[in-house]
């Protein structure tokens, strides 16, 4: 009986399909590598909010708020090198309307300019027409972080018994920094110090 050898069937390799698959795999790897290498936006240092409230007194709506406000070493060093820092206290008071956008009853921003005098070794905080001098940075932090009886609206602008939504925050205003430091603020968390919005309901 003759010996039968196995017959090998040779097929042409689908090279075009393999080439396309390989190119697709390489492209996916490049995209993934670019995504992993992309800079991740820095998270801001957070200023904790300890308390916030409104009260009506003698026809005025007054704000009390307290923040655990402290500068990081980068901002301290900037002050000591003569770079002034600006901090903004933002406040909003709105009233919800079911038929339209919320009514904005009041919106204010109090700006503190903090500077350091190397000759006198004192800190200077200016806000509007008011200027105060402090011997230590801790005193500056307590002063800015504690808001007492700050007028934010007139009581006449409110409807007695109506519900309002209040919001307050404290932040480093990077837009008032020198240009080179504004660029740093986009990539470095040391230059982005802010609190979250503290929100609560208020009924006069």
pLDDT of residue 35: 28
pLDDT tens, 44-79?
A: 578 999 999 999 999 999 999 999 999 999 999 999
pLDDT tens, 166-181?
A: 999 999 998 888 777 7
Structural domain contains residue 159:
yes
**pTM, to two decimals:** 0.74
Structural domain contains residue 94:
yes
Structural domain contains residue 29:
no
State the average pLDDT over residues 10-31: 44
Structural domain contains residue 25:
no
For the chain, percent of residues with pLDDT exceeding 70: 75
Which tokens is 24 given?
């697709």
pLDDT of residue 186: 63
Q: What is the DSSP string of 25-73?
A: HHHHHHHHHHHHHSPPPPPPEE--EEEEEEEEETTEEEEEEEE-----H
Structural domain contains residue 100:
yes
The residue range of the domain holding 105 is: 49-198
Find all residues with CB under 8 Å of 203, minimum gap 6, and list them: 161, 162, 163, 164
Minimal CA–CA distance to 108: which of 66, 145, 59, 147?
Answer: 147
Query: How many structural domains does the chain have?
Result: 1
Structural domain contains residue 42:
no
Question: For residues 21 and 191, which has the higher predicted lDDT (pLDDT)?
Answer: 191
Structural domain contains residue 54:
yes
pLDDT of residue 157: 92
Mean residue pLDDT of the chain comes to: 81
Structural domain contains residue 1:
no
pLDDT at 19 over 60: no
């Amino acid at each position: 009986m003759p010996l039968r050898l196995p017959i090998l069937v040779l097929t042409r390799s689908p090279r075009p399909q393999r080439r396309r698959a390989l190119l697709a795999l390489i492209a996916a790897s490049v995209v993934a590598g670019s995504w992993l290498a992309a800079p991740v936006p820095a998270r801001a240092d957070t200023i904790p909010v300890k308390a916030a409230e409104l009260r009506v007194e003698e026809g005025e709506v007054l704000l009390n708020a307290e923040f655990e406000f402290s500068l990081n070493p980068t901002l301290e060093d900037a002050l000591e090198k003569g770079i002034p820092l600006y901090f903004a206290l933002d406040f909003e008071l709105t009233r919800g309307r079911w038929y339209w956008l919320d009514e904005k009853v009041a919106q204010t921003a109090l700006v503190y300019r903090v500077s350091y005098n190397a000759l006198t070794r004192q800190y200077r905080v200016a806000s509007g027409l008011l200027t105060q001098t402090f011997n230590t940075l801790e005193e500056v932090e307590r002063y800015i972080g504690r808001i007492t009886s700050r007028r934010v609206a007139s009581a006449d602008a409110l409807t007695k018994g109506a519900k309002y939504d209040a919001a307050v925050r404290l932040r480093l205003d990077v837009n008032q920094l020198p240009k080179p430091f504004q660029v740093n603020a986009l990539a470095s968390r040391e230059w982005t110090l802010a609190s979250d919005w503290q929100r609560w309901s208020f009924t006069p």
